[in-house]
A and B are shown apart, each in its own frame.
Chain A
Amino acid sequence: MESEAVAITVTVNGMSRSLQVQASHTLLKVLRDQLGLTGTKECCSMGECGACTVLVDGRAVNSCLMLAAEADGCEITTIEGLAMDGRLTALQESFLAEGAVQCGFCIPGMVMSAQYLLDHNPHPTEEEIKEGLAGNLCRCAGYTRIIEAVRAASSGAGASTGDAAPSKTGSAAPSKDAGK
C-alpha cells in the first residue's frame, strides 16, 4: 500500500516546489492533494475524459496517466496558472462570453487543451479545434459553444469584458440586449 517516497522538484505555475511523493501517486493526485490545486479535476482516471489536463513542459497531458515521479524537473501549468493576477486570459474570457460553460467540471481540462492547441496553432480551423479537443468530454455538451469560444479567442475577439454575451451565429434564440 505505502509505496516508496520519491523526492521531486517541479515548477508549478511558475513556482519551484520540492516534494516527497509516493511512487505510485499520479501527478493529478499530487497536484490536488499535496499542492491543493483542485482546479484540475478527476473523472475517469484512465486518460479518456481529459478533465485532468495540465501542461507539462508545454505539452497537454492527462495528469491521471502520469506518475508524479515522472514529472521531476518539469514545468507544469495548471488551470490556476492561467489567470495568476486575477485577470482571466482571453481564452477564459471567450469561454464565458460564448456561453461555453455550464456545470463547469470539464472546463479546466477543456481550457488547458484549448490553450495547448492555441499555443501551437494560433488560428485553428474548426476541424483542428475538434481534433484538439477530442480528448475532452463535456456531458453538458456545450461543444458548439466551446468551438466558438476557441475560435473567438484565436481571432482575438474573445477578450471583451461586457457582462452580457453575444448570441451565437446560427442560433435563433434571440439575444435582445446582447453586449450593449
Chain B
Amino acid sequence: MTDWIGRSARRVGGKERVSGAQKYVGDFRMEGMLHAKMVTLNCGHARIVSVDTAGARAVPGVHCILTAQDLPQPVPRFGPTAQDRPVLAVGETKFFGEPVAAVAAETEDAAREAAARVRVEHEKLPGVYTVDQALDPSSPLVQDPSLRPKDPLSPTNILEEVSYGWGDVADAHADAVFENVYTFPMVTHFAIEPHAFIAAPEEGGVKVWSPIQHPFILQRTIAECLGLALAKVRIIAPDSGGAFGGKGYPKFEPLVAFLALATGRPVRLALTLEETFQAGRRMATRVRVRSGFQKDGRIVFQDIQADCLIGAYADIGLRVVEKASYTACGPYRVPNARIHSRALLSHTTPTTAFRGFGVPQMSWAVESQMDEAAIGLGVDRVAIRLANLASRGEEFIKGDIPCDGDWRESLQKAAAAVGWGTPLPKGRGRGIALGLKISATYAASYCIVRLHYDGSASLLTGTTDMGQGARTVFAQIVAQELGVPLEKVAVVMGDTAVVPYDTSTSASRSTVIMGSAVLRACGDVKEQVRKLAAELAGVPEAEVSFENGIVRTAKGQASLPALLKDYYGTTRGEVIGVGSFLKRKTPGHPLAGKTVFYELSCSAAEVAVDQETGLVTISRYVTVCDVGKALNPQHVEMQDSGAAVMGLGHSLMEHIVLDEDGRIVNLGALDYRIPTIKDIPAVMESFAVENGDGPGPYGAKGVGEGGLLAAAAAVGSAVREAIGTPIRDLPLTPERIWQAIQERGAG
C-alpha cells in the first residue's frame, strides 16, 4: 500500500508543462475566431465627448466596433461586491486603460489598426491619484454619487469605512507609546501569462474561456450582464499561467461576451502585459499606528488608522480592506485595539485580490512597530514577539476562532535558522517578522468522485489550479482514500458545465475546504462499495471492510476492479460519490463568519547593505509556515519559497509609478522590475511546522500566501539594523536607503 499523504508526488500536469503541451487560454484557436482590441485613452481621467468609429470601420477585416452606446442601456455594471464597473466607460474614463470601445476583426493586426483609428474626442480632467488627493474635499469625485444614493459617504471619495476593536484604547495606560506612519505602494501581479479571454455564442447562451480563478463568480457576472440563465453560461477555465489573485474576478470577459454575441463568432481578446498591468493591482496603503507598550515589552494597545487607496471601481477592494484591517494587530495578544480603515476611490487601476489580501501592507506597519518598541524599550526583537504571541486556544481576535497553532515554534525555528543572536559585522543586519492571515469565512464547495468500472477514478471539482498544485493534492487524497494508483486518478477542473459549484479558489482555502469535500466524496464512494460487496457476498454491510483499495468480507477479499467487474458484469456501471463543504455566511459577523483557520508565517532575513550605494544583498532568508500537515511537502515548499521571493519583490524593488495625468510610467517588463534568478538570496530556506492541527484533511491548514506576509517587515528590520536608521516607505530601493544613510549622517 502506497501512502500518498505527506509524499512529494510529482505535479499532475507537469509533463504537459515541461513539453509545451499545456494549453493556456491564449493557446486556443477556433474556427472563425475574431480578434479583439480595446480602445483606451492616454490619461487617468477624462470626459468622453464623442466617439467616431468611421475610420475604424473602413479597415478591412473589421466585423464589429462596440461603444457604450451599442450596449444595453443603462450599460451593464458588474463587480463582486458592488456592481459599479461598466462593461465600457460611460461618459468618462476613470483609470488609465479603461476601455471606451472595442473592435473585433479577422486578424490581430486589423483589430489593432482599427482600434488605433477610433477617434475619441475627450477632455482630460483632474484626477485623484494619491491618498491625500482622495481625502481632499476639493478633489473630483471618482464615483457618481447616484450609484450609492443611500450612502452618507457618497459625496466623498471614501467608498467605505470600517472599524474593529475591543478593550478601551483611550483609557489604557502604557509606559511607552510609539507612533509612526508606514506606506506601501501600488504593485502589480505580473503573472507571466497575460490575461486572455475568448467568448463564443453557444445554444442560446455563451461560452467563455478565461484563466479566471473563480469560474462560478464569472458565470454569475456574465449571466447578470447579458441577462442569461446560469445554465446558459458556460465558463471554461483552463489552468492559468499564474494568477496570484489578479485573475480572481471578472475583468473584460463581459465585454468579450458582448462582442461574441454581436458578431455571432468566437472572439478572442489577448491582453498585452502592459494591458494586464492596467487590469488589476495591489492596494496602496498609508497606515498610521500608535502602539502602547509596558516597560517589559508587553503590548497595551494598538491604535491603527489605515488609508487604503483602491482604484476607480471596487472590484474586491472593499473585502481586501475589511479582511486586512480585521487582523491588523497580527498574531498577538492585544488587550486594547482600535482599528479604523478607509477604502479610498481613485482614478487608478482597480485594486483587486493579490496574494496576502492586504495583510502584507498591515504587517509592514504593525511588525515594524514591534521593532520600534523593542529598540525603544531595549528588548530583543524576538523576545518582544514571544512575549506577546497568542497561545493555542487564546481568543486573540475578539469574536473569532482562537489561536489554532503553536506559533512560538514558527518564530523560534526561523530565529534559529537565521542565526539570531550571533554577532554580525558592521553593515549587516538581521530582521524577523510574523504574518497572520485569516482564510475563508464562508464557503460552498462541492465535488464528485466517479469510481470507474476499471478501478480508476475521476474527480470533478470547481477549484482551479493556477500553479499552487490543487490538482496534485486532490489526486493524492483520492489515491489515498480509494487505494487507486495516483496515475489512474483524473482531476477535472475548470468547466462550469461539468464540475459542481465552488465559491472560489482564494484565501489558501482549497486544500482545507475543497480537500474536505473530496475526502467526503471518497467516503461516500467507499460506503457504496461496501454495500455492493455486501450484496454480492450476501453478508451484512457491517461485515465489509474497505481499506487500501481492497474489499474484504468473511468470505474473501477482492480488489476494486475485480469487485466492480463481479458486481456489474457486462452491464458495466460506476460508483458516484458526492462531497461538500458548506459554511454559510453568519449574519452579524463583520466578515460574514469566523475564519476556517489561520495562516501564520514567520520570515527572517540577514542582509548586507552597501553603505556607498544603498544596495541590499540578502545573504540568508528563512520562511516558516504553520501548515498543520504538508500533504505534499515539495509543493508546500514551492509555494512558500515562491511567495517569499514575491515578497522580496515588493520589499525591495516593485512599485507602480504614476505621472501627473495618472498614467503608469513604468508600464511593462522593462521598467517594472520583479525578482530575477539573480535577485534571490544566497541561501533560502523554507520550513513547515507540522502539528496536525488544521481543520483540513489529515490535519492540514492552507498554505501559499504565508511566505510573503511578513517579508517587508523582516527585510525592513534587517536593513534598519544594517544602516542604523528606519525607513517606513516601501520599496527599500538603493536610492531610498542611500538617502536614509545620508540623512542619518556619519555614525
Q: Is A55 close to B, CB under 8 A?
A: no
Q: Would you mind naming 18 contact pairs between A and B with Cβ atoms under 8 Å apart? A: A24-B109, A38-B23, A38-B26, A40-B20, A44-B273, A46-B668, A79-B19, A79-B20, A103-B240, A130-B677, A139-B674, A140-B242, A142-B641, A142-B642, A173-B637, A173-B640, A174-B633, A177-B2
Query: In the bound complex, what is the Cα–Cα distance between A156 and B240 (angstroms)?
Result: 31
Q: How distant is B249 from chain A, measured CB to nearest CB, in Å?
A: 18
On whether the beta carbons of A1 and B634 are closer than 8 Å, the reply is: no
Contact of B687 among A39, A165, A172 (CB under 8 A): A172
Query: In the bound complex, what is the Cα–Cα distance between A143 and B17 (angstroms)?
Result: 16
Query: In the bound complex, what is the Cα–Cα distance between A24 and B26 (angstroms)?
Result: 21
Q: Is A10 close to B, CB under 8 A?
A: no
On whether the beta carbons of B19 and A173 are closer than 8 Å, the reply is: no
Q: Is A102 close to B, CB under 8 A?
A: yes
A102-B468, A130-B678, A140-B467 known; A165+B10 contact, CB < 8 A: yes
On whether the beta carbons of B20 and A108 are closer than 8 Å, the reply is: yes
On whether the beta carbons of A102 and B20 are closer than 8 Å, the reply is: no
Query: In the bound complex, what is the Cα–Cα distance between A177 and B3 (angstroms)?
Result: 8
Query: In the bound complex, what is the Cα–Cα distance between A38 and B21 (angstroms)?
Result: 8
Q: Which residue of B lies closest to A93 (CB)?
A: B18
Q: Give A residues with C-beta under 8 Å from B.
A: 1-2, 22, 24, 32-33, 36-46, 48-49, 51, 78-80, 82-83, 88, 92, 95-97, 99, 101-108, 111, 129-131, 133-134, 136-147, 163-168, 170-178
Query: In the bound complex, what is the Cα–Cα distance between A129 and B688 (angstroms)?
Result: 28
* Cβ–Cβ < 8 Å partners of B668 in chain A: 44, 46, 48
Q: Is B15 close to A, CB under 8 A?
A: yes
Query: In the bound complex, what is the Cα–Cα distance between A142 and B677 (angstroms)?
Result: 9
Query: In the bound complex, what is the Cα–Cα distance between A40 and B683 (angstroms)?
Result: 31
* Cβ–Cβ < 8 Å partners of A178 in chain B: 7-8
Kindly identify, within residues 239 to 262 of chain B, every residue whose CB is under 8 Å from any CB belonging to chain A: 239-244
* Cβ–Cβ < 8 Å partners of A46 in chain B: 668-670
- Other 10 A-B pairs with CB < 8 A, given A80-B19, A105-B241, A166-B8: A36-B29, A40-B20, A79-B19, A99-B8, A102-B467, A102-B639, A104-B241, A105-B192, A139-B242, A174-B688
On whether the beta carbons of A96 and B15 are closer than 8 Å, the reply is: yes
On whether the beta carbons of B18 and A173 are closer than 8 Å, the reply is: no
* Cβ–Cβ < 8 Å partners of B646 in chain A: 139, 141
On whether the beta carbons of B487 and A163 are closer than 8 Å, the reply is: yes
* Cβ–Cβ < 8 Å partners of B189 in chain A: 139
Kindly identify, within residues 626 to 642 of chain B, every residue whose CB is under 8 Å from any CB belonging to chain A: 630, 633-642
On whether the beta carbons of B241 and A103 are closer than 8 Å, the reply is: yes
Q: Which residue of A lies closest to B644 (CB)?
A: A141
Q: How distant is A128 from chain B, measured CB to nearest CB, in Å?
A: 12
* Cβ–Cβ < 8 Å partners of A129 in chain B: 677
* Cβ–Cβ < 8 Å partners of B466 in chain A: 103
On whether the beta carbons of A78 and B20 are closer than 8 Å, the reply is: yes
Q: Is B693 close to A, CB under 8 A?
A: no
* Cβ–Cβ < 8 Å partners of A95 in chain B: 14, 18
Q: How distant is B484 from chain A, measured CB to nearest CB, in Å?
A: 14
Query: In the bound complex, what is the Cα–Cα distance between A78 and B20 (angstroms)?
Result: 9
Q: Is B313 close to A, CB under 8 A?
A: no
Query: In the bound complex, what is the Cα–Cα distance between A175 and B631 (angstroms)?
Result: 10
On whether the beta carbons of A141 and B642 are closer than 8 Å, the reply is: yes
Q: How distant is A41 from chain B, measured CB to nearest CB, in Å?
A: 7
Query: In the bound complex, what is the Cα–Cα distance between A2 and B231 (angstroms)?
Result: 41
A105-B24, A139-B244 known; A48+B670 contact, CB < 8 A: yes
On whether the beta carbons of B113 and A1 are closer than 8 Å, the reply is: yes
* Cβ–Cβ < 8 Å partners of A2 in chain B: 60, 109
* Cβ–Cβ < 8 Å partners of B537 in chain A: none
Query: In the bound complex, what is the Cα–Cα distance between A24 and B630 (angstroms)?
Result: 50
Q: Which residue of A lies closest to B466 (CB)?
A: A103
Kindly identify, within residues 285 to 334 of chain B, every residue whose CB is under 8 Å from any CB belonging to chain A: none
A38-B23, A103-B239 known; A1+B110 contact, CB < 8 A: yes
Q: Is B191 close to A, CB under 8 A?
A: yes
Q: How distant is A29 from chain B, measured CB to nearest CB, in Å?
A: 8
* Interface-centre pick from A46, A103, A175 (highest chain B CB count, 10 A): A103
On whether the beta carbons of B686 and A171 are closer than 8 Å, the reply is: yes
* Cβ–Cβ < 8 Å partners of B15 in chain A: 88, 96
